[in-house]
Structure formats: C-alpha cells, structure tokens
Structure 1
Amino acid sequence: MLDDEGFAGQLREWLKTLRKKNASVIFATQSLSDIDGSAIAPAIIESCQTRLLLPNERAIEPQITAIYRRFGLNDRQIEIIARAMPKRDYYCQSRRGNRLFELGLSDVALALCAVSSKTDQAAIARIFAEHGRDGFLAAWLSHRGVGWAAELVPAITSPALTSPALTNKEKSP
C-alpha cells in the first residue's frame, strides 16, 4: 500500500495535518522493511515518534540491523529486540524514553489473542466446525486449558447481557 502513489500522498498529508487535530495515525506491519523500502519512509519515521516493536531474533543480522538503525535504534536497543520473548515482550521507542515491557496478558487473553500458528488455525477450524458459532468460545477456551473461563461463557453471552434493547422490547405489550 505504501507503494501506491495516491495512498502515499494521502498518508503524507494525514501525517502533517492530523496531529494538529489531536488525532493519531497508527501503522501495523510485519516488517520494518515494508516502511523502510517506501518513498514515504522519511515522513513516517519523522512523524510517528512512538513505536512499539515486537521481538525479532533476526534483528542482529547486518541487513536487518541497518533497517533498525534507520528507525533510530542503537546497537543495545537492537540487541534487546533480538533477545526479547515473542508474544510476551514489546519494545517501546518514544521521545520520553525507551523500554522493554511485558503486556501481561492473562491465560484467557492469550487463548483469544495469541493464536496464529498453523496448528492453532487448524484447531480453530475444527472446533468451529464441531461446535458452531454459538458453542465455539466455550469449546475453544476449554481446548486452550482455561476451562474455568469456558464455564462463564453462558453467563456473559446471555441475551439479557448482550441485547438489553431486545429484552426490553420483549417485555413491552
């Protein structure tokens, strides 16, 4: 998308004007090289002053290190990113300072947010096929070892909690 001249021009304009309106432009990419290789990279690097970087064991490889340096990281910061634990650690780079931190997700949050492997995707498809839309959440939580949370699903998905307007209409004459 960053290679599209029309989109890049619009993005450049947003980066210049939206901050004045107290708005944010948020990027998510699998690789910094997606940004680094684009014509708009200087504007993005200059305007997006807070960055959350994920662990990357390849960060210490010379070609990858060069990309991180262009984003303003020094050798120590790059080493921290290379040694950080995937799906646990995050590195924040900002004007106020830099820091490695853990998001601290619970087992339930990890069961719902940290499932991207091919094995996980196959299990999701299988459980969805077996239990359908309505039964998926409880079955998935049980599969991920948080059965206690699965037991709470009926209480949090009851129509009284999820659709108060519908419940009120049912009570009206």
Structure 2
Amino acid sequence: MLGHPAFRAKIREWLRVLRKSNCLVLMATQSLSDAANSGILDVIVESTATKIFLPNVYARDDDTAQLYRRMGLNTRQIEILATAIPKRQYYYLSEQGRRLFELALGPVALSFVGATDKESIATIKALEAAYGPAWVNEWLAIRGVESTINIGRAAAAPYTSEKLHESV
C-alpha cells in the first residue's frame, strides 16, 4: 500500500504539510521492507518524530539491520530489538529519548486489543448487534474476565446466550 503511487503521494503530502499544522500522522507496517521499497522512506525518516519498533529476531541480519540503520537506529538499538520479547516489549525512539518498554495491559484491555482473529471479530459483531452498547459486558463474560465495567445491562437485548451462539 505504501508503494501505490496515489497513496505514496498522499503520505508524502501529509508528512510534509500536516506536521506544520501540529497534526498527527500515524502509520504502521508489518515490515520495514515495505517502507524501504515504497519510494518515500526518506520522507518517513525525516518527518516522523516518534517511532515505535516491535521486536524482530532477524534484526541482526545484514539486510534487516541496514533497514533499521536507515530508520535511525544504531547497533545497540538493533540488538535490543533482536532480543526483545514479542507481543510484550516495544522500542520507543524520539527526540526526547529512547526506551524499551512493556505495554502492561491488564486482562480487560487484553480482551479487546487481543481479539484480532476472525472468530473473535465475528462474535463481537454478533454481540454488538444483539446487545447494543452492552456487548462489552457480554464479551468480557465470554472471555471469562471479571470487570467492574457495566455498560447498559438493563437495556440489553433480550437474547439468550444460546440464541447468540446460533448467529455466530
């Protein structure tokens, strides 16, 4: 997507113009090579004041390490990425500093941000259709997470758990 001519031109514009207006441009990619092959890596590196990197066991490999160097990381920082714990640790880099950190999410937050598989998404959509705003409570119950969150239980649709599972 980064390499598509129309999208590439738009990102280039956003990064150069919107930053001057104190706007935030958020980008994420599964692979640094996507950014490197996009034709706009120079603008990405110059115009992104804050970068967050995920662990990568292959970060020390010559080609991958070279990509990280182009993004502004040094040998020690690349080593940190290579040894960081996946899905737990992240490397923050900005003009204000740099730090390996853990995104210490509790069970409630993990129930939502960790629900990325197709089955979970389908269940969430069915819960939202059946319960409206109270779907949050139902989702946490399905996940076995105790919470003090209580959104609209009294207004929840009168569906039984069995009825919901038939629609999923």
How would you bin the TM-score normalised by the shorter chain?
Answer: 0.7 to 0.9
Q: Larger helix proportion, structure 1 or 2?
A: 1
Larger Rg: 1
Partner of 2:140: 141
After TM superposition, list the pairs within 5 Å mapping 1:76-155 onto structure 2: 76-116=76-116, 121-122=118-119, 125=122, 133-134=130-131, 137-146=136-145, 148-149=146-147, 152=148, 155=150
Deviations 1:128-156 (A, max 9, x none): 7699742854454244331x22xx55x32
Pair 1:34–1:159, CA change in 2 (3 A): farther
Give the drift of 1:10.
2.4
Counterpart code for 1:113: V
Amino-acid identity (%): 46
Task: Report SS of the residue matched to 1:18.
Answer: helix
Partner of 2:24: 24
Q: Using structure 1 for the length normalisation, give the TM-score.
A: 0.74
| Unpaired runs of at least 5, structure 2 | 156-168
Give the drift of 1:15.
1.5
Counterpart code for 2:20: K
Q: Using structure 2 for the length normalisation, give the TM-score.
A: 0.76
Question: Alpha carbon RMSD of aligned pairs, Å?
Answer: 2.7
Pair 1:93–1:130, CA change in 2 (3 A): closer
Name the CA distance, whole Å, in 1 between partners of 2:65 and 2:82: 10
Q: Is the 8 A contact 1:124 1:140 kept in 2?
A: no
Identify which of 133, 137, 151 aligns with 1:156. Answer: 151
Stretch of structure 1 that moved more, 5-14 or 35-44: 5-14
Give the drift of 1:108.
0.8
Higher relative contact order (CA 8 A, sep 6+): 2
Name the CA distance, whole Å, in 2 between partners of 1:102 and 1:86: 10
Counterpart code for 1:51: K
Q: How many residue pairs were aligned?
A: 153
Q: Which runs of 4+ in 1 moved over 6 A?
A: 126-132
| Unpaired runs of at least 5, structure 1 | 161-173
Task: Report SS of the residue matched to 1:156.
Answer: coil
Give the drift of 1:59.
1.6
Deviations 1:9-61 (A, max 9, x none): 22222222211111121101111111111111101111112101112222222
Deviations 1:67-120 (A, max 9, x none): 11111111211111122122221111111211011122111101111233xxx5
Task: Report SS of the residue matched to 2:59.
Answer: helix
